[in-house]
Amino acid sequence: MFNFAPHGRNLGPLVEHPSSPSASAGVVSDCAKNREGGMEQPAAAAAVAAEKEGMAQGEDLLHQFERILDHDLLIDEVGFLHPTQFQSLDCSQTGNSTSESHEYTQEYLWCRDHKLAISSEVLPKLYRAARHAYSNSATVKDAALLEPDLMSHSKALLILCPDMLTAWNSRKMVLSVSYDFTKLKDELQLCTMILSYSPKNESTWSHRRWVIKKVSEHHQDMSGLIERESLLVKEIAEKSKMNYRAWRHRCWLISYMTREQVLDELKKSARWNELHVADNCCFHYRRSLLLALLDSRCIEGENSLDYKSEVHLLWKEELRWNEMLIRRYQGRESLWIHRRFLSQWWVKFLLSGEEMECCAAGISLVDLFLSQEIYLLSDCLNVPADEFGEACIQAELAALYILWISKQVPAVKPQLEERLHSLGSLEDVLARACPERSRLWTHLIA
């Protein structure tokens, strides 16, 4: 029944004498493994318990966070503060969240006067809880149960991560079921809240345009909404310099503006542009407004001539205003780009058959305009040098502006060269303004 190996054969590896060194080492190794295994089990259990506690804390934080958002629908500013900064807030008063407030609300969340502060210490837990809750709500099939949870969880998630396109699309899906102006207003408020700390977030601006388009399908009078939108963009642009996305949104709003609003925007934006001459975005906005006035020539009847004359006067005033800024602020490329746009349309307008008129001295209006531009070029070339090099940049930009006119409107090139005779040829002017690029000027002129 039992098979025993012969005496002395292959027993060495199987059985060792207790007193041998290898046997002692094996016993010590086994004891160490037993101790490690005994230590790993409590450590693993502690890690699982800590994870469960973190998830519970995250869910509690998310509950308090969503509760604050539901109680105060007018929150317009959100800030994520370092724990040391957060402790400086008076957390004993939590605005609309005072009733039934948990310790997490007092310790990590703060809301008062429509301003919300979140401690950065809990952002990972809060984000994981919000994403988990949103994922669970998005899988619900029942539409009656889907809407409230999905809107609440997606709102919390988007405040923490506004680039979550899936959450934005979920909200569009719910809002598209039936038109509700109140909910769309709340959606604009949510976008305002996110833009307060992320003013260049493209997803938020895109969603805001979707909401406005949705409102325009059911309301004819959009003047009040568009005016508030334009004011919002102005406030955001003052806080966030060179914000191309905000200004592009403002240009998009022009299609919903009335003629009176366009004219009013031109007047109001002039002062802002004078204070931000290096920001090309604000000048692009003015160009969009002027083009909108040109596109409004569909007006027929007795008022059409008056409207046309009004646009021409605005254009001449814009040219005069732009020249004033160019002389006041030297070396600003955005001002010269704006002048290129104005001059191109103005010269083509003067060259049109019905506008080939002459001034009192018998000089054509085109020649008069070119003389004024050459005079501006001469002044820019003769500006004394300064320590910042702005005079050299101004001379180069002025010379490039004249070259640009000759290329964009070839019909005026002979007249332009004739007017340039006092300063030399166009190539001489370019070489004088920027001699290090003389080979480039020769190639361009040829």
Which 8-state DSSP code applies to residue 5?
P
Q: Does residue 363 form part of some domain? A: yes
Q: Does residue 8 form part of some domain? A: no
Q: Which two tokens stand for residue 237?
A: 């642009």
Q: Does residue 351 form part of some domain? A: yes
Distance CA 367, CA 373 (A): 10
Within this chain, do residues 207 and 225 fall inside the same structural domain, yes or no?
A: no
Residue numbers of the domain that contains 385: 323-446
Among 171, 193, 215, residue at a domain's last position: 215
Compute CA distances 340 → 266, 287, 347, whole Å: 18, 11, 11
Within this chain, do residues 417 and 357 fall inside the same structural domain, yes or no?
A: yes
Burial class, 276, CB count within 10 angstroms (exposed 0-12 / middle 13-18 / buried 19+)? middle
Question: What are φ and ψ of residue 102, in 5° steps?
Answer: -90, 170
Distance CA 142, CA 129 (A): 22
Within this chain, do residues 330 and 418 fall inside the same structural domain, yes or no?
A: yes
Give me the DSSP letters along 221-276.
--HHHHHHHHHHHHHHHHHSTT-HHHHHHHHHHGGG--HHHHHHHHHHHHHHHHH-
Q: Does residue 302 form part of some domain? A: no
Q: Does residue 349 form part of some domain? A: yes
Let me know the angle formed at the C-alpha of 159 by 157 and 164, rounded to the nearest 5 degrees.
Answer: 55
What is the model's pLDDT at position 173?
A: 92
Within this chain, do residues 248 and 193 fall inside the same structural domain, yes or no?
A: no
Among 166, 196, 215, residue at a domain's last position: 215
Number of C-alpha atoms within 13 angstroms, CB side, residue 308? 11
CB atoms near residue 75 (< 10 Å): 22
Tell me if 141 sits within 8 A of 149, measured CB to CB: no
Within this chain, do residues 273 and 254 fall inside the same structural domain, yes or no?
A: yes
Residue 400: name the closest of 379, 429, 372, 421 by CA. Answer: 429
Split into its structural domains, the chain has a count of 3
Within this chain, do residues 424 and 339 fall inside the same structural domain, yes or no?
A: yes
* Element of type H or E holding 112: strand 109-112
CB atoms near residue 71 (< 10 Å): 14
Among 168, 184, 215, residue at a domain's last position: 215
Kindly give the confidence (pLDDT) of every residue in the chain, 446 residues in length, as a single tens digit, with 9 standing for 90 and above.
Answer: 434 344 444 434 333 444 444 445 454 455 555 555 555 667 766 666 666 776 788 899 999 999 999 999 999 999 999 988 888 886 445 444 444 433 334 688 999 889 999 999 999 999 999 999 999 988 876 655 678 889 999 999 999 999 999 999 999 999 999 999 999 999 999 999 999 999 999 999 999 999 999 999 998 889 999 999 999 999 999 998 889 999 999 999 999 999 999 999 999 999 999 999 999 999 999 999 999 998 865 444 445 667 778 888 999 999 999 999 999 999 999 999 999 999 999 998 888 754 445 554 557 888 889 999 999 999 999 888 888 889 999 999 999 999 999 889 888 888 888 888 888 888 888 888 888 887 777 777 76
Within this chain, do residues 166 and 279 fall inside the same structural domain, yes or no?
A: no
Q: Does residue 245 form part of some domain? A: yes
Q: Does residue 66 form part of some domain? A: yes
Residue 289: name the closest of 247, 327, 335, 320 by CA. Answer: 247
Within this chain, do residues 373 and 397 fall inside the same structural domain, yes or no?
A: yes
Start-to-end Cα distance in the chain = 111
Residue 191: name the closest of 178, 181, 179, 205 by CA. Answer: 205
Q: Which two tokens stand for residue 171?
A: 């909200």
Q: Does residue 286 form part of some domain? A: yes
Helix, strand and coil in the chain, % to nearest 5: 70, 5, 25
What is the model's pLDDT at position 329?
A: 95
Within this chain, do residues 359 and 401 fall inside the same structural domain, yes or no?
A: yes
Within this chain, do residues 332 and 286 fall inside the same structural domain, yes or no?
A: no
Pairing state of beta strands 115-119 and 109-112? antiparallel
Within this chain, do residues 128 and 269 fall inside the same structural domain, yes or no?
A: no
Within this chain, do residues 83 and 129 fall inside the same structural domain, yes or no?
A: yes
What is the model's pLDDT at position 266?
A: 94
The separation between CA 118 and the C-alpha centre of its own chain, rounded to angstroms, equals 22
